Amino acid sequence: MKQIGFAASNKRLPQAVRVGYPAFKAALAMKSLLLAAAVLMTSFVPVSAQLSKNRSSLNLEPGTFSVEGMTPKPIVLKVQLEAPMYPTSKFQGALGSFAPGTLVTLIAMSDTAYRVRGRARHGDVAGWIRQTDVISADPNLAANLKKLLERTQKVEELIRNRQVALGMTSAEVQASLGKPSRTSAKINAQGKEEKLEFSIYERVPQTTTGRDAFGQLVQSVIYVKVEVGTLSVSFKDDVVSEIEETKGNPLGGGGVQIIPPPLFGF
């Protein structure tokens, strides 16, 4: 039996179908163009976004903050007492309980409560429990997590502003300033020392004159990337120990900022 393709049979189709076919081709072409643009945009995700891509998007109540994704590995706690589980950090209306010895994963916290995920007596759940109902390998877990949150927020602000500070890690500096133009490293009895050099640029506005589609003279503003200096960043065991302006004034006279180094154990 002879098969007739859509294009070949177009002449035999009703007028309504023949008119719709070019529109279908145009829509298909537009869809392909939009898909290609979307793929291209995903390849230019900012490094700062990649650095925090594991951060939880969980909607939390006021006075609480997310812990999930803030540490390289999930934080596992052990239930030491029969632990009622609540829908909010206010401990109202228990929904179930965790048995003693149950391992739960920490996903958020407040001053007095942990939001955890695990297997309760009635099934897998996520909810709030009292901090005193669980034990951790770190006896100062709550205090250290608050310090970690403060540091994480400061680092994210530095990265947004394309700045660097003493106490940042190599990955954090490169997330802020981009790929270094020069690197060097040495290892001695005191540990590893590394130096990265970055070219610092600013976007400078320039006014240009041209003609529009009707031949009229029009002015427009374009931004040109101009190098304003170079910055040398030294690391001691992967933590920034020294920042030096080797060319120009890339710090802009604002001085060197200092943040706490990464907390051990996270």
pLDDT digits (tens, 9 = 90+) for 58-69: 567 888 999 988
Of all residues in the chain, the percent with pLDDT exceeding 90 is 56
Task: Write the pLDDT tens digit of every residue in 121-144.
Answer: 999 999 999 999 999 999 999 999
- In this prediction, residue 154 carries a pLDDT of 95
- In this prediction, residue 14 carries a pLDDT of 45
Task: Write the pLDDT tens digit of every residue in 207-230.
Answer: 999 888 998 999 999 998 888 889
Q: What is the mean pLDDT of residues 76-89?
A: 95
Domain 164-258 class in CATH: alpha beta
Instruction: Answer yes or no: pTM beyond 0.75.
Output: no
- In this prediction, residue 15 carries a pLDDT of 43
Task: Write the pLDDT tens digit of every residue in 89-102.
Answer: 999 999 999 999 99
- In this prediction, residue 59 carries a pLDDT of 66
Domain residue extents for the chain: 10-42, 65-137, 164-258
From the candidate CATH numbers 2.30.30.90, 2.30.30.40, 3.40.50.300, 3.30.450.20, the one assigned to the domain spanning 65-137: 2.30.30.40
| 3-state per-residue secondary structure call for the chain | CCCCCCCCCHHHCCHHHHHHHHHHHHHHHHHHHHHHHHHHHHCCCCHHHHHCCCCCCCCCCCCCEECCCCCCCCCEEEECCCEEEECCCCCCCCCEEECCCCEEEEEEECCCEEEEEEEECCEEEEEEEEHHHEECCCCCHHHHHHHHHHHHHHHHHHHHCCCCEECCEHHHHHHHHCCCCEEEEEEECCEEEEEEEEEEEEEEEEEEEEECCCCCEEEEEEEEEEEEEEEEEEEECCEEEEEEEEEECCCCCCCCEECCCCCCCC
Q: Look at residue 27 and tell me whether its pLDDT is greater than 70.
A: no
Task: Write the pLDDT tens digit of every residue in 166-182.
Answer: 999 999 999 999 999 99
